[in-house]
């Protein structure tokens, strides 16, 4: 994508690509923290954002170019170490079911008491 921007001869297209790059760099971090959306939904929303803003300014790019702008921004974002798109997980505590139907946290189980 960088090469495409640098080698673009048409000034209007080059300007649109540069604006699109800035828009993508702005929206990708915002999308990355939206845990309610899947990865593909985040990407699609970022593409829509870039496309809408470019269209509002009179630019018209194909989906491959828009996707490239967003993907480039995402790869740059990942390199910062700030990428947190993976869903958060928590460990489920292990417990022992006693003969009297009570539950004992595994940390309190003495060696040899576990029913395995």
Cα 73 from Cα 67, distance rounded (Å): 10
**Domain of 40, in residue numbers:** 2-79
Tens-digit pLDDT profile for residues 56-106: 999 999 999 999 999 999 999 988 877 655 545 555 666 667 777 776 666
Q: Is residue 111 part of a domain?
A: no
Residues ≥6 apart with Cβ < 8 Å to 31:
37, 42, 43, 45, 46
DSSP designation for 81:
T
Domains in the chain, number: 1
Helix (H, G, I), strand (E, B) or coil at 45: helix
Tens-digit pLDDT profile for residues 2-22: 555 566 678 888 899 999 999
Q: Is residue 89 part of a domain?
A: no
The predicted structure's pLDDT at residue 108: 46
Tens-digit pLDDT profile for residues 37-62: 888 999 999 999 999 999 999 999 99
Q: Is residue 52 part of a domain?
A: yes
- Number of Cα atoms under 13 Å in the Cβ half of residue 67: 6
Q: What is the mean pLDDT of the chain?
A: 80
Q: Is residue 91 part of a domain?
A: no
Q: Is residue 28 part of a domain?
A: yes
């Amino acid at each position: 994508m960088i090469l495409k921007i640098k080698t673009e001869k048409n000034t209007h297209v080059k300007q649109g690509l540069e604006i699109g790059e800035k828009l993508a760099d702005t929206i990708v971090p915002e999308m990355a923290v939206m845990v309610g959306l899947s990865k593909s939904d985040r990407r699609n929303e970022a593409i829509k954002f870039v496309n809408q803003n470019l269209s509002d300014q009179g630019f018209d790019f194909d989906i491959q170019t828009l996707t490239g702008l967003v993907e480039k921004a995402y790869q740059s974002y990942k390199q910062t170490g700030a990428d947190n798109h993976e869903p958060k997980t928590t460990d489920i505590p292990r417990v022992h079911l006693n003969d009297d139907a009570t539950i004992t946290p595994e940390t309190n189980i003495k060696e040899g008491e576990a029913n395995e």
